[in-house]
Amino acid sequence: MADHIISHEPATGAELWRGRIGDVGEAVERARAAAPAWAREPHTRRIELVRRFANQVRKQAEPFAELIARETGKPLWEARTEVDAVIAKVEISVKAYSERTGAKKLDSALQGHAGLRHKPHGVMAVLGPYNFPAHLPNGHIVPALIAGNAVVFKPSEKTPAVGHFLVQCFHAARIPADVIQCVTGGPREGKALVEHPGIDGVLFTGSARAGIAINRRLADNPGKIVALEMGGNNPLVVADTPLVDDAAALIVQSAFTTAGQRCTAARRLIVVDAMYDRLIPALTTLTKRLIVGEPFADPQPFMGPVIDNATADLLTESHEVLVSRGGKPIVPIIRLQPDRPFLSPALLDTTDLAERPDIELFGPLLQVIRVADLEQAITVANDTRYGLSAALIGGSPEEYDRFWAEIRAGIINWNRPTTGASSAAPFGGIGLSGNHRPAAYYAADYCAYPVASNAVEQPRSTLGIGLSDAEVAPPPGWRKTVRDT
């Protein structure tokens, strides 16, 4: 059994980083020992330290972005936006902590008070994905630390270098090393971390398959808080609009940013019949113009490779299966380099498929479905077990109101990409997309639990009912009963 994790650059295949597989048991033991002192720190002190962390990331912004670009394959311009999101997450989380889990006085009783405060759970396990290896786990870690939890973080085995860099920034900000730890490993270490009795909560971002496995493992342990942020088979509906080129640009942004490796990426483009013949030629032309290249190319590419060759193989095979079942390639998926995972963005008309697989194809493959009208579009859009993101392009305000009311998703946009979500809002979905514990602004909710209190300085109380004027005589034979027992 290998005792190291090795990370390779998707764009070149070169070894980027290697490190020893971590000891989950030791990490959890250290976190448990450190958690009480961290929880006792005033929350103002914890906030000060995470703000120092933001400053550390700001100082290291360019090398951090370069590392993200090299390890994920995403273009440098996009890696820079991820670093910006890491920094911004701190102030968003500070505000959310105060608003969502701050202390509250509930009344003004003359002889005491009732109040609401929140406590940290203890030690939280954070399992991160590879597509946003800094931003997404950071979205769990920062709120957990502010709330007073210790954190054991296992990055994706495909992006361990970014995970370690992120944690080093926390340590450089003087957050104790045992309070936030990075444990390198694969599925075995992830499973051990999830099931460890010293873990009080599991915060996961990744595939539905992995999230369901976590949920099953912890089904008989309701004492562990579990927040699952999973993927989607996201619909993008196009109704009538005269702005065809704008619609095409929104579709490309939704489907092909990050090489389609976003949980909110559009997977199904559902076009009403009146728009199909106007939209598809414009979308085809724009899709064929997209530059696919290595992260530091000049000019900068729109998208880089997918994460590895195995993922590229799966996507090309999925494309072939859909074609064999009746799918019609509009822009076929092409393996641009035989030994590297560069894929061209693909459009595939699956209107005539008798049965479309309800799966998340995590890459630049967009299925196009032609429908008669908005009513049928909504029906097709909802034909999925997922429910993360959906968007409507075109249509009237009344049609958007109907779309919003009838679509099953946690994010519903109008004339914006499916990938657009406000940092001041919750981020999550329903069905196979999550377990009703949304992240982003609502992450504070699962990082602490509420404690209601009634308190007075002196124990004062009387009984005003149910008392006799004298002592009540015991029933006959009560002493014998006591002796016999």
- State the DSSP H helix or E strand holding residue 191, giving kind and residue range, or none if neither: helix 187-195
* Max intra-chain CA distance, the chain: 98
Q: Which of 263, 360, 399, 447 is catalytic?
A: 263
Environment class of residue 221 by beta-carbon count within 10 Å: exposed (0-12), middle (13-18) or buried (19+)?
A: exposed
Tokens at 179, concatenated: 């309070």
Q: Which of 71, 189, 229, 360 is catalytic?
A: 229
Residue 266's nearest CA partner among 371, 379, 389 is 389
Question: DSSP character for 452?
Answer: E
Residue 170, SS3 per DSSP: helix
Task: Reply yes or no on whether 263 is catalytic.
Answer: yes
Environment class of residue 133 by beta-carbon count within 10 Å: exposed (0-12), middle (13-18) or buried (19+)?
A: buried
Measured CA to CA in angstroms, residue 27 lies from 30, 126, 160, 204 at distances of: 5, 13, 16, 18
Tokens at 87, concatenated: 């920094």
- State the DSSP H helix or E strand holding residue 328, giving kind and residue range, or none if neither: strand 328-331
Residue 235, SS3 per DSSP: strand
Residue 47: how many CB atoms within 10 A of its CB? Answer: 19
Q: How far apart are CA 242 and CA 452, in angstroms?
A: 55
Strand partners, 6: 18
Range 98-120 burial, b when 16+ CB lie within 10 A, else e: eebbeeeeeeeeeeeeeeeebeb
Contact, 353 vs 322, CB < 8 A? yes
Residue 359, SS3 per DSSP: coil
Task: Reply yes or no on whether 320 is catalytic.
Answer: no
CA distance between the termini of the chain: 61
Question: Active-site residues: which are they?
Answer: 229, 263
